[in-house]
Amino acid sequence: MAETIYVRGEGGAILAMDLPLPEGIEQRVEAGLIRRVNADGSPHTAAGGSTRGESGGSGSALTQGVSPRPAKSAPKSEWVAWAAAVHGYSTQDADALSKAALQELPDLPEQQPQPGTGRPDEDADKPEWIAYVVRLGKLSAEDAENYTKADLIEMAN
């Protein structure tokens, strides 16, 4: 019987997939367009597991399985894919942010959102608060960028 894993698709849906993954899906996982998660959608943290089964690794030795930060000159689409892979944004939420806001995100997420709400911690970076306020439907990403982080936190209350 094939092992089943769960992936968060480009639209944010959680999908069950049997291993080994089809080549096209595997390429999208490696590119960071979709990522492996637990059945409940929480980030998957396997020790060196591969989406191809027993034969492969979970990333190059250089990145140790972590999607590398795109170059400053990379197109916005690469920054969107990186934000989705590393920070768990849906592609729609990441695309709603400006390229500059995506570039302000840290290399790795420093804290997880509070369970069940998707609400960032009070000390989360401003781009995370922008994405949260946009998800709530309170402002567009462009308008949210004009507010301070304190204003965004207050709006979310």
CB 57 within 8 A of CB 48: yes
Residues 6+ apart with CB under 8 A from 149: 126, 129
At which residue do the structure tokens 């972590």 appear? 66
- What are residue 105's DSSP bridge partners? none
The pLDDT assigned to 134 comes to 82
The pLDDT assigned to 45 comes to 66
CB 44 within 8 A of CB 6: yes
- Rounded to whole angstroms, the Cα distance separating 65 from 68 reads 9
- Rounded to whole angstroms, the Cα distance separating 21 from 18 reads 6
How do residues 28-81 score in pLDDT, each as one tens digit?
887 777 888 887 777 776 544 444 433 344 444 344 556 678 888 888 888 888
Strand order of the β-sheet with 14-18 is 14-18, 4-8, 35-37
Within its chain, how far is the Cα of 116 from the centroid?
17
- Rounded to whole angstroms, the Cα distance separating 109 from 41 reads 16
How do residues 9-30 score in pLDDT, each as one tens digit?
766 677 888 888 888 888 888 7
The pLDDT assigned to 151 comes to 92
How do residues 88-111 score in pLDDT, each as one tens digit?
788 888 888 889 888 888 877 754
